[in-house]
Each structure stands twice: as structure tokens, then as C-alpha cells.
Amino acid sequence: MTMNTTGMALALMCLATGLGGAAGAQSGGSGIIARGAKLQKVASEFLFTEGPASDKKGDIYFTDQPNDRIMKWSATTGKITTYMKPCGRSNGLCFDAKGNLWACADEKNEMWKIGPGKKVTVVLGKYDGKLLNGPNDIWLRPDGNFYFSDPFYKRDYWKRGPQEQDVHAVYYFDTSTHKLTRVIGDFQQPNGLIGSPDGKTLYVADIDANKSYAYDIQPDGSLTNKRLFCELGSDGMTIDSEGNVYLTGKAGVTVFDKTGKQIEQIPIAEDWTANICFGGKDMHTLFITASKSVYTMRMRVKGVGSQ
């Protein structure tokens, strides 16, 4: 979660071309949005929304971090209810194949596994004997192991000293061996990340540098072949069935094809668009967390799950 000026130039560009402004005015003609679809504001009763993740039913769980709660949007009724409060000031979320909800629990800089019965297991909180900065965003690859970003955003609710890690990093966690490995350590501020459904490519945003990169994922979790994906950072990311990558920030939602070419801009009338995922019974609903509100949009393309 961040509130910097990333993407302002894109926002101004969209306004100049008539795409920006009010919710509901969108589409750059890419064809990824369903014909006639409008951006729908679902609710606006939160302090700051983050971390959406879809379960196998298409229901979407997201966080209202300042209020320390995880919310649930029903794919059947469209209603939003409180799933869990308190929730360790959870930020990014992700489901595994067994229905466990993994949460970047920011209150004590931990990674949680929340079982179907809401049983919390603290899986990790330190690297090399030192407190993590603050797990922020998470992606589970097909084998159940995962990557997470660990930037440092000082919170007023923390009861800890200064930053203990020497860098803002991205980590890989092997769920069978419980080995935690730092795989990226040269970013200014890593934030949003997402992997391709085949588990071969990881996209990671360096939000302060206003760039996003792609890596080849190796079986042991290491990353190779770092390459610039696009000249834009991101707070959160998702990916669709055609390999298009969705980034968020000041400009709303910006979509790039798999080659890194921008193909779509969806402006959101909020101060900040934090995160995004696909859900709904058929995975054609784009769910957007943006400041105090959440939005949905019907898409032609389909989302892909984390598993």
C-alpha cells in the first residue's frame, strides 16, 4: 500500500484523450472489456481497500487495512460482509489449492495461513534472524510455494524499532522445507507482483523506480533473465487468460499485453487504486480495490487463479 505519485503522467494523458474522469468512462478499444460494460461502484464504506483474492467459488476476499478487517464479496449475491476482524492488519491475500487464505499480516510483519475455519498459523516473520520489513503482496505458484514483496512502509500502529533488513526485497518460500530465500534485493521499493499461470514468469513492480520487471522462474524458486517489462510501477497486479498484465496506481488500472505494450486504461475516480483481481462464478469479473471504494467491471477476457 502506497500513496506516491506513480502514474500521474498516464492519468493526465488519459484525461487529455477523454478517457479519464468519472467512473464508467473507459476502454481504449483493446477488446478485453465486455461489450457495453460499465465500471460499477460496489461499495464505498472503507478507509483503504487492498489485497483482493478469489476463492474457488469466485467469491472475493479483500482487506480494509486501517479497520483491521478482511471483507468478503459474494459472487452469488453481490453483497459484502465482514469475514474476519481483527486480521493482523492484513494487506495482500492469496488462496491456495486447499482453500487456505494466505495473508500478508502487516501488524507484526508476518505471513499468515488462515485455514477454512479461520484458524491462524503464523508461518514466518523473520529473515536471517531479523524482522521482515512488512510483507505486502503475495503470489502462489502452481506447486503451492510462493513469492512475496517486503517493502518498508512505517505504520503508526507498529510496536517495533527501525527497519532491520538491509534492503527492500522479494522472497521465495518453500512450503515443504520452510526455507525462505531472498530472490530480489536490488529494487528501490518492490510492491505488486504476479506470476503467469504456467508458473514460468514472475512480474514484479519497483514502485518507487516507476518500472516493472519480468523474470524467468526456476524450479528451485530462483529468478533469472531479469528484463524490463514496462515503464510503470504498480501497487498491485493481476493477469488474465490471454497473458495481459494489469497494474494499479494513481492512474487507475493500466493494462499491458505480454510484450509490455500498453493496450488499455481504466480510470478510477479515486485518489489511489491499490489492487485488483478477477473473480465471479465464471472469472470474468474484474474486482478493483481503490481507496475507500471497491469496483467491478465485466470483462471479455477471463482471469486465472493463483493455482
- Taking only the tens place, the pLDDT of each residue in 142-163 is 999 999 999 999 998 998 999 9
Q: What distance in Å separates the CA atoms of residue 39 and residue 84, rounded to the nearest whole number?
A: 27
Residue 297 pLDDT > 60: yes
Write down all domains in the chain, each with its CATH number in brackets.
Answer: 8-298 (2.120.10.30)
The dihedral over CA atoms of 65, 50, 252, 157, expressed in degrees to the nearest 10, equals: 30
Residue 302 pLDDT > 80: yes
Provide the mean pLDDT of the chain. Answer: 90
Which pLDDT band holds residue 28 (cuts at 50, 70, 90)?
low
Query: Which residues, including other chains, have CB under 8 Å from residue 73's CB and lie 6 or more apart?
Result: 42, 59, 60, 61, 62, 79, 80, 279, 287, 294
Residue-wise pLDDT tens digits, 132-141: 999 999 999 9
The answer to whether residues 26 and 279 touch, using CB atoms and an 8 Å cutoff, is: no
Between the alpha carbon of residue 227 and those of residues 30, 137, 155, 212, 236, the distances in Å are: 25, 20, 32, 9, 19
What's the pLDDT at 305? 66
Mapping DSSP to helix (H, G, I), strand (E, B) and coil, where does residue 231 land? coil
DSSP-assigned letter for residue 261: -
What's the pLDDT at 12? 35
Cell numbers linked to 250: 494513481
Predicted TM-score (pTM) above 0.85:
yes
